[in-house]
């Protein structure tokens, strides 16, 4: 993928030339995070008279709506919109339809944003002639626990996330297949339409695939950083990865190409284990193949874990990281296999993570 080049910029540092920016935040049951999220957006350098914040809530029942209402009462540029379907693509479509901005930014309620985040996104749309701009996710432990820190560290490593630069980072701006959240020109939606509401998961990847197919350019900028709060424990991490695995293959049912090779690697791993183990029932020699796959995986897993533990100078990672990586790969692989089965079963609709919550 070629390196991005800057095009002549029309950016001006006066408020008069700044576009109206609509921030759309899909949200459901985020009482713990929605306040800090909104505070970080309000504290951004972008002029408030050029900003509108649309929180699209999936009918939260944990006190989130009351918190949002308190902000709506204080700031006239913040609005609360209802999302009865409770899924992220529907939330985005509601937000786009109610927005007034020339530039639209999707932000996550589970994150906090640095002071110049919005300004940097809008600036780079012009500087690079991009259609969508975003940055990287700085994996931040949701809770200060041993496994919480290990999960954050694993997701930021290629062994855990492949070539997903939004997670593992990038040293320089680059054209990408997707970015965290996304800052779009309004004309993008006029050109390719809105989010596919059949894809409760993988909707961003699907949208960006359609954008790139239409000739759009997606810029990943490493100086646009978002703190993303990861799962706090192994149970939540397993559920998260299993559901992500399902969506990696279930999108085939909707004839979407919302996946990359990295999304299928865990499926190949799990499938090779299952097939070789099944073959070993008939041919005992196949047992060596199964053991070989397991030993090779464990060797790579331990090697990466030892390297990270040494770099972080923390012995605890020798024990937590191998478990976290294994949960990541096995859960995602089994989920992807289950997703393929659902594709072959008429009438089955996946209602797992992101299938019922925004």
Dump pLDDT digits (tens) for 28-52: 999 999 999 999 999 999 999 999 9
Same structural domain for residues 207 and 265? no
Report how many domains make up the chain: 2
One domain for residues 190 and 260: no
Beta-sheet pairing, 132-140 with 218-229: parallel
Residue 356 confidence (pLDDT): 37
- Give the structural domain span for 334: 250-344
Instruction: Indicate the helix (H) or strand (E) that contains 326.
Output: helix 317-344
How many Å apart are CA 109 and CA 25, to the nearest integer?
6
Contact 281, 341 (CB under 8 A): no
Residue 319 sits in the same domain as residue 195: no
Say whether both 208 and 254 belong to one domain: no
The answer to whether residue 294 is domain-embedded is yes
Distances 54 to 75, 98, 209, 260 between C-alpha atoms, Å: 12, 8, 25, 31
pTM: 0.81
For residue 100, give every residue at least 6 positions away whose Cβ sits within 8 Å of its Cβ, in sequence order, or none. Answer: 20, 22, 52
Residue 222 lies in a domain: no
Does a structural domain hold residue 322? Answer: yes
Q: Which of 9, 299, 295 is nearest to 126 (CA)?
A: 9
Strand partners for 175: 219
Average pLDDT, the chain: 88
CB 335 within 8 A of CB 245: yes
Residue among 230, 64, 254, 62 nearest 160 (CA):
230
CB 295 within 8 A of CB 127: no
316 domain-assigned: yes
pLDDT in tens, 48-73: 999 999 999 999 999 999 999 999 99
> In this structure, what token pair is assigned to residue 287?
């047992």
54 & 113 share domain = yes
160 within domain boundaries: no
Q: Are residues 64 and 193 in the same domain?
A: yes
Query: Has residue 29 been placed in a domain?
Result: yes
203 lies in the same domain as 263: no
Question: Are 10 and 42 a contacting pair, CB within 8 Å?
Answer: no
Under 8 Å CB-to-CB from 283, ≥6 apart: which residues?
Answer: none
Does residue 152 lie in a domain region?
Answer: no
Do 192 and 257 lie in one domain? The reply is: no
Assign residue 110 the CATH number of its domain.
3.90.550.10
DSSP 220: E
List, for residues 301-346, the tens digit of each pLDDT value.
999 999 999 999 999 999 999 999 999 999 999 999 999 898 888 7
Residues 70 and 179 occupy one common structural domain: yes
Confidence band for 258, pLDDT divided at 50, 70 and 90: low
Same domain, 128 and 262: no
**Are residue 173 and residue 277 in the same domain, yes or no?**
no
For residue 103, tell me if it sits in a domain. yes
Q: Phi then psi for 216, rounded to 5 degrees?
A: -75, 155
Q: Are residues 197 and 294 in the same domain?
A: no
């Amino acid at each position: 993928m070629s390196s991005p080049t800057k095009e002549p910029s029309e950016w001006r540092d006066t408020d008069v030339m700044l576009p109206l920016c609509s921030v759309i935040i899909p949200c459901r049951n985020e009482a713990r995070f929605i306040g800090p999220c909104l505070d970080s957006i309000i504290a951004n350098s972008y002029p408030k008279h050029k900003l509108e914040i649309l929180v699209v809530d999936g009918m939260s029942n944990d006190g989130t709506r009351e918190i949002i209402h308190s902000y709506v009462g204080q700031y006239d540029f913040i609005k609360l919109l209802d999302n009865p379907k409770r899924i992220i693509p529907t939330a985005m479509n509601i937000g786009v339809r109610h927005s007034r901005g020339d530039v639209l930014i999707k932000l996550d309620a589970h994150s906090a944003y640095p002071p110049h985040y919005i300004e940097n996104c809008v600036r780079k749309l012009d500087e690079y002639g991009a259609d969508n701009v975003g940055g990287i996710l700085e994996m931040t432990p949701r809770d200060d626990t041993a496994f919480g820190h290990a999960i954050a560290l694993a997701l930021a490593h290629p062994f855990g996330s492949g070539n997903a630069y939004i997670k593992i980072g990038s040293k320089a701006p680059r054209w990408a297949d997707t970015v965290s959240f996304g800052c779009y020109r309004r004309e993008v939606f006029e050109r390719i339409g809105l989010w596919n509401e059949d894809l409760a998961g993988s909707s961003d990847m699907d949208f960006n695939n359609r954008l790139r197919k239409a000739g759009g350019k997606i810029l990943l900028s490493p100086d646009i950083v978002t703190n993303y709060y990861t799962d706090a424990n192994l149970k939540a991490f397993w559920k998260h990865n299993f559901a992500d695995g399902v969506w990696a293959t279930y999108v085939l049912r909707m004839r979407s190409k919302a996946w990359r090779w990295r999304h299928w690697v865990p499926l190949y791993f799990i499938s090779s284990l299952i097939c070789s183990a099944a073959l070993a029932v008939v041919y005992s020699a196949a047992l060596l193949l199964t053991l070989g796959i397991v030993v090779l995986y464990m060797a790579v897993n331990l090697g990466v874990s030892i390297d990270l533990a040494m770099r972080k100078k923390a012995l605890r990672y020798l024990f937590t990281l191998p478990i976290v990586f294994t949960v990541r790969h096995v859960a995602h692989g089994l989920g992807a296999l289950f997703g393929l089965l659902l594709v072959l079963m008429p009438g089955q609709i996946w209602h797992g993570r992101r299938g019922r919550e925004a």
